[in-house]
Structure 1
C-alpha cells in the first residue's frame, strides 16, 4: 500500500513548492491565448483551426489524465511530476521553435500530455503536504495560474522584444528551475506494484449520484464552456469590442475570468453547496448579460465588468457542482466519478469552443457571441431553477 505523510503532519515548504508548480503548469496553458491572433496573422490559418489548436490541448490532457491519473499512487509523486516537467519543457521548446501550424499542434498536444500527467500527482502531493490547506490550494492555484499566465504573456507580447518567443524562454527557465528543485522535496509515497493495472481508465457515475449529477452538472458545463471560449476566441472578442488590436486586452479578459474564479473558490468555500450553486447560477448569467450588452454597444468597460462578474460564477460553478456530487459517491467509486467529472469539464471547454470557431467563420464573431452567450446562460439558469425548486429544508444538497 502507499504510505503517505500522516494527516497531522504539515510540510509548508512542499505545500508552497507544489502550489507554484501547479500554478506554472496552468500559467503555461494560458500563455498562448494572447498569441493566437499573432500566429493566425503570421501563418494565415482559419478561426476554426485556431479553436482546434486550443481543443487539441484539452483532448490530450483528458486522455492522458484518464490513463495516468492513479500512477503517482504506485510510482511516487516526484517521478510523475518530474516526467510532466520534462514533457512540458519539450512543449515549451516546440512553441519557441514554432514556424507553422503543425508546430503549434505538436506543442499543444505535448502540453496537454504534460498537464494531464501532473494534475492528479500535484493535487495528491498538495494533500500530502497539508491535509487542510492542500485541497484549497489545489482548487485556487490552477485558476490564478491560468490568469497570470495569460496576463504575463500579454504584457510581454505588448511591450517586450521577440513577442512570439520571449514568453516561452521565461517558461523554460521556470520549469527547468522547478525540475532541479523537485529532488529536494520529500517523497510521500512508497513505490509499489500495480502501476500498469492502474492505467486502465475507470469512469462511471454511481446510480445513487446520477439524479444530483444531472441536476447540477450544467453549472460545471456552463463554467467551462465560458472558460474555453475566453481562452480561444476571447482576444478576438476584445479586439472587436475595443475597435483596435491589443494583445494586452485579450490576455486581460482571460486573466480577469480566471482570477475572479479563483477568488470565488476562496471566498465561497465555507458556504453551503446550495448557496454556492445559487450564487454561480446568478452571477454567471448576470455577467454574460453585461458581456452581450458590451458587444452591442462596443463598450470595453462594460466587457471587462461583465467578465469580472461572470468570473465569480465561473469558479463557483465548478466548485458547486463538484461539492454536490462527490460526497454522495461511495468511497470506492469516487475516483471513477472524478474521472467522469474531468471528462465533462474538458469536453465542455473544448467542443463548444470548436463549434464557436466554425460558426464564427460562417456567421461572424458577433452573431456567434450572442448565440454562445445565450446557450451558456440557459445552462446556468437551469441549475438556478433546479435548486430553487428543491427547498433546502426538504432536499438539501451536501
Structure 2
C-alpha cells in the first residue's frame, strides 16, 4: 500500500502578508503587495516594481548570532519554518533527529549577501570578506540552516528548477517520506531584490517595466507585458499520514499527485510539456479532470506563455470547465517561493471553501479558461491542481486534496 503524505503545518512570508493568517486575509480581500522597490533605489533600472515582504525584522525572530551569517532569503526561510513547525504542533527536539529531513527549492540563493561581500572585496580587500560568504550565497543554504537550527539529520537536499522548484521540492519530500522518513520540512523561499540580483533578473527580458502596481503584472490579460518579481514563499511540514494522525495533528490535506516534464527545444515544432505534466499528475493522484475543483495557474504574464498555459488547461479540462485563479497577481512571481505559496493557498482554499480572485486582470477572451475575477468565489473545494513553470522549460503540476 502506498504511503499517504499530508501537510500539517504552513509558514508563510509573502509580499501581501507576513504569517499564514495575515497572508490569507490579505489574499481573500484582494490586497496587492506589489509596489516600488524600497530595498535599493531603482530609479536607474528599466523595471522598478517588486513584491517585497513588508515589516520583516529578522532580529525580532532570530538569535543575533545567526544574523551575520545569513542572507535575507535564509532569515525569511528560518522564520517561516519556525511558524510552520509551530502550526504543525511539532517540537523538533522531541523527535528522533534522523526521522526529520529538509528539502527546499531555490532559484537564486543569497544574492544580497554575495553582493555585499563582493563590494567588500572590490573596495576594501580580501581580508574584509566574510567567511560566511562560503555558504551564505549558496542554493542549498536554506536547507542547511533549517537542518542545523532544528537538529534535523534525515534526508536533506535542494531542488533548482526556478519557478517550478516549489512543487518539485514538495514532490521530492513525498518520495522521502514514502521511503520511511516521518517528517520533511519542504517548500521554497526566494529573495533577491538587490542591485546584483535585479540585473540578473532583468537579463531574462521578461520583467514588466510598468510603474503602475495594479497594471504591471497581468497574466491572461489583453495588456500582459511581463511579470513583476517578488520575494518570500512558503514552508510546508509534510508527514506520513498515519504518523500525523497518531499524534493528533491537524491535517490541511494530502499531496495526492505530481507530474513534471521539460519543454522541447525551441524551433522543433513539438508541443510544450505542460499538458503532459497535468495528465501525469492526475494519473498519479488517481483522479480525472472532472474531479478538480480549481486550478492555481502559473501565470507567466506574457502573451506567449499565457497562451501555452491556457491551451493546456482547456485541452485537459475543456473550455472554461474549471475555475482558474492566479493569486500571485497580488505578490508578483516569487521564483522558487511562488508554487509553494500557491500550494499553501490551495490548502487554505480547501479548508475554507473559497477560491481567491485574480486581481486587476481584464482577461483576454481568446483564452479558454474560467478565470476567477474581482471577488473570491465561494465553492466546495475538495481537490485542487497547482501548476508551476520555470525558466528553461521546466513544467510541474501537483494535485492536492482534502484529507481522506
Say whether the fold is shared (TM-score over 0.5): no
Structure with more strand by fraction: 2
Q: TM-score, normalised by structure 1?
A: 0.31
Q: TM-score, normalised by structure 2?
A: 0.31
Structure with more helix by fraction: 1
